[in-house]
Structure 1
Amino acid sequence: MSEGLNYKFLVDTFFVALSGVPIALAVTAVALLIALPLGFLLALTRINRIPILNRFAQIYVSFVRGTPIIIQIFIVYSSVPLLLDSFFTKFNITMNIYDVHPIWYAFIVFSLNTTAVLIEVFRSALGTVDKGQLEAAQSVGLTNPQAFRRIIIPQSLVVALPNICTATVNLIKATSLGYAMSLQEITLKAKVAANVGYNYVEAYIDIFLVYLILCGLVEYAFKLYEKRLRKYKPANA
């Protein structure tokens, strides 16, 4: 048995784990770029009760929130290549789908998962804005897109931002499951380094520290942005 922590390995592997941060941030950024507008639009369909889209959004949110993200990863990572391979074979397309970098599957999984979370975030946030403000904006000649951009969205963002921050932090932490797709992110890099000398305790401490620092910095950035948005907060709120 080990006599104690291997501090040299602990320090060295911290930087190995740190080298996986760009991948984790890339997946997070792409997922948010897709999920933010898509989640907002689907939230509008729920608020306005657009028949087919509203029902689709309800089922979609229930499915994603009701299944573990690791299962979603396994489904996408195993089924999408099989479907595409069958499609390519049928139409004589010469492409080896199994050579596709796993980061593309990560983009799909985490975008779909985060969209479901943000639908509910935006739905609740938009519900806090008085409908009379949209009518008032229309009465002074603003179009709906102008009213949303100048009045509705800034006010709803004030309410939504803490939940968007939570969703972003959870997304960053969820990227640790990318190891299931052989994605060279923080967790996989540290675990591979630990395989040589079975220094798994040190590796997990390094993973813990990297995610703690990364998520702390993201939360701080959101707090700074939240201060800038306070001017849109209603006086009676």
Structure 2
Amino acid sequence: MQLDFSYLIRTFWLCVKAIPVTLEITIVSLLLALIPALLIALARIHKIKVLDQLCRIFVSFIRGTPIVLQILIVYSIMPSLLNSLVKSAGWSLNVFEINPVVYAFVVFGINSSAGLSEVFRSALTSVDRGQLEAALSIGETHFQAFRRVVFPQALVSALPNLCSTTVILIKNTSLAFMMTVREITGVAKIEAAYGYNYVESYIDIFIIYIFVCLAVELIFRRIERSLVFAGVRRAKTN
């Protein structure tokens, strides 16, 4: 087998130009998942009736089903459901002209919320409850105690798992091509279809994903070090 290096180089730079789309899906999905994930984690930690069971079912369903299936369900059902709602409301919006990346935000946001909820739950329970009680005993409200005492420590504890979740999400976005989104993998597959240069395309995206994921890991390591350093400095001043 002989590789077409000119094609490999040309497609590599085309895929590089698609990195912002992949990062956009990753960042927006994480932002959409943050609040639901935190609420799910708190509901499970405090064992709120009904909510606790519903959250357990939701997390088990999302984590127990392939993301490919979730993509197929959302991308097949959501447009038709939205179209029915738009027609019943009498609006003139053409649902089928919505940018497919919106559906990617929804799918990966829902998927990430389940994983992040477990990350937050683990991090929050790792903080000694005595610190929360101490903060409450000096007159702080639950919100103030969580914001000033629990969350800063939980964030440091959550960063490694948060990094892993982000890296997994970046790799999962390669499935967004199933929704006709032109991210890294989507661009590579489109280009490969013209001359059947699939091997070269796969080499391109293999290299790009490695560098993108390594860059994300380095960013999280720096954030973790800065937070630990800030915590140590704060402890010394106190």
Same fold (TM over 0.5): yes
Q: What does residue 102 of structure 1 align with?
A: 100
Offset from partner CA, 1:106-126 (integer Å, 9 cap, x none): 010000000000111111111
1: CA distance between counterparts of 2:49 and 2:4?
60
Aligned to 2:39: 41
Distance in 2 between residues matched to 1:222 and 1:83, nearest whole Å? 39
For 1:24-39, what aligned pairs fall within 5 Å after superposition? 24-39=22-37
Q: Distance in 2 between matches of 1:119 and 1:24?
A: 23
Q: Distance in 1 between matches of 2:65 and 2:150?
A: 32
- CA RMSD between the two structures: 1.4
Query: Does 1:16 find its partner at 2:14?
Result: yes
Moved more, 86-95 or 16-25: 86-95
- Listed as ranges, the matches of 1:160-175 within 5 Å are 160-175=158-173
1:37, 1:138 → 2: CA distance? 24
Q: How do 1:207-226 and structure 2 match up within 5 A?
A: 207-226=205-224
1:130 aligned to which of 111, 128, 131: 128
Which residue identity lines up with residue 107 of structure 2 in the other structure? V
Deviation per residue, 1:130-188 (Å, 9 max, x gap): 11111111112222222112110111112211100000000011100000000010001
Aligned residues, how many? 232
Distance 1:204 1:197 in 2: 14
Output the CA distance in 2 between the equivalents of 1:156 and 1:78: 38
Measure how far apart 1:57 and its partner are.
0.9
- Structure 2 match to 1:77: 75
- Paired AA for residue 166 in structure 1: S
The structure carrying a bigger helix percent of its residues is 2
- Structure 2 unaligned segments of length 5 or more: list them: none
| Residue 194 of structure 2: aligned partner | 196
| TM-score (normalised: structure 2) | 0.94
Runs of at least 4 residues of structure 1 off by over 4 A?
none
Q: Distance in 1 between matches of 2:227 and 2:55?
A: 28
What is residue 228 of structure 1 aligned with on the other side?
Answer: 226
In terms of mean alpha carbon deviation, does 60-69 or 136-145 score higher?
136-145
User: What CA distance in whole angstroms lies between the structure 1 residues aligned with 2:63 and 2:29?
Assistant: 16
Superposed displacement of residue 92, structure 1 = 2.5
1:127 alignment partner, SS class: helix
Q: What are the ranges of 5 or more consecutive residues in structure 1 without an aligned counterpart?
A: none
Do structure 1's residue 155 and structure 2's residue 153 form an aligned pair? yes
Deviates more, 1:117-126 or 1:173-182: 117-126
Q: Distance in 1 between matches of 2:89 and 2:157?
A: 49
Structure-1-length-normalised TM-score? 0.94
> What is the CA-CA distance between 1:72 and the residue it aligns to?
0.3
Distance 1:48 1:132 in 2: 16
Which letter does structure 1 place at the counterpart of 2:17? S
**Distance in 1 (alpha carbons) for counterparts of 2:72 and 2:144:** 42
What is the identity percentage for the equivalent residue pairs of Structure 1 and Structure 2?
49
Rounded to whole Å, the distance in 2 between the matches of 1:28 and 1:74 is 19
3-state SS of the aligned residue for 1:49? coil
